[in-house]
Amino acid sequence: MPHHISPTVIIDGTLYTLVAFSVATWTVILFKIWQFTKNSHYNRRFSQAFWDAATLDQAKALPAEVARGPQARIAQQGFAWMNESQQSTGKSLKYRGIPDELLEHSLLVQMQKEQHCMEGGLTMLASIGSTAPFVGLFGTVLGIMHAMHEITASGSTSLDVVAGPIGDALVATAIGIAVAVPAVLAYNFFLRQVKQQRAGLENFVTSFLHVTPSANASGKE
């Protein structure tokens, strides 16, 4: 450790880092709770309205307050692709191929975007959960080293002199663990939520592909 840097500054910096980790963790947790709750509500409302529609045109014309959320954006992407495909048939490589497969690809691309949005912040939780204990341990090691230097300088080895500084140094490890536990638990919980909502989006994509050809065929008749 450079002699011109005070150990106390480094130890305090470690504790402030852990506090910043904790603030970031709970900010992400609150945001993800809001995000997943909102998505679930929007998906349920849109799915009910979409499948209650008599025709695909009625489903396409759902009001904006209903057509919100990941499923709604996937459906809008599908409708947009079908409109562009009808207007650009044979004019662009983008629309050359089997229509059903091209439409499925467009829906899957949008679904991947929605999944990426849902996964936002999870990397931070995983990183904090894995590094916070080591940051706390780093602070503890520095604290013990600093305490040993002070004990040596005082020339006393009594329990009262030794126990206090070392006990204070161990606080950093405790804080590191306290920061890591919520981050790890939240990461596992939200990862499960991502998988569940992705499964719902996959089911919607499959169902959308099933009704689209029959709806188009009935429209042509």
pLDDT digits (tens, 9 = 90+) for 121-154: 999 999 999 999 999 888 888 878 777 776 677 6
Residue 115: inside a domain: yes
Residues 182/187/189/195 CA torsion (nearest 10 deg): 180
Residue 214: band (very low, low, confident or very high) from pLDDT cuts 50, 70, 90: very low
Amino acid at 139: G
% of the chain surpassing 90 pLDDT: 49
Residue 15: band (very low, low, confident or very high) from pLDDT cuts 50, 70, 90: confident
Which of these, 178, 162, 173, 177, lies nearest to 139 by C-alpha position?
173
Domain count, the chain: 1
Given this model, what pLDDT does residue 201 score?
94
Q: Which domain does 13 fall in, by range?
A: 8-124+180-220
Amino acid at 92: S
Residue-wise pLDDT tens digits, 19-77: 999 999 999 999 999 999 999 999 999 999 999 988 888 888 889 888 899 999 999 99
Residues in the chain: 221
Residue 167: inside a domain: no
Q: Is the pTM of this model over 0.95?
A: no
pLDDT at 157 over 70: no
Given this model, what pLDDT does residue 163 score?
62
For residues 14 and 135, the answer to whether their CB atoms sit within 8 Å is yes
pLDDT at 3 over 90: no
